[in-house]
Amino acid sequence: WHLIIDGPGLGIEIPQVVAFVNHVMDNLSKIEGFRLKEISTVHGIPRVQSNLIEIMPWVSSVIHAEIEEKITMIMKVEFEVEQRLRSLNLDINGKPLNYE
């Protein structure tokens, strides 16, 4: 689906977000003429920009909102996991933090 990017593409580097976007883009790339401009965050809030409004004007905002909502949930879970691990002096991989 990387061939359908007309812009910066995915600007969020959280592995679970990347996996989710891969799944979504596999489906959206089947829509003839679909082009992704960008998926990024603005002040920590995910934003999706594509040409769906031109192809499917009545449902594009619903699709974008759903993707943004799911990414927000993934990011919240990742943040919570990271905070809990940090409280146990562990990094995101479960390895002890080394404060030097």
Tens digit of each residue's pLDDT (9 = 90 or more) over 85-96: 888 888 877 788
Q: Which residues lie closer than 8 Å to 42 by C-beta, 6 or more apart?
A: none
| pTM, to two decimals | 0.80
The residues facing 36 across adjacent strands are 5, 50
Closest C-alpha to 49, from 35, 62, 59? 35
Query: What is the rounded average pLDDT of the residues 42-70?
Result: 93
- Maximum Cα–Cα distance for the chain, whole Å? 55
Task: List, for residues 13-54, the tens digit of each pLDDT value.
Answer: 888 998 999 999 989 989 999 988 889 888 889 999 999 999
> Which residue blocks in 1-100 are alpha helix, DSSP H?
15-28, 52-55, 60-87
| pLDDT greater than 90 at residue 72 | yes
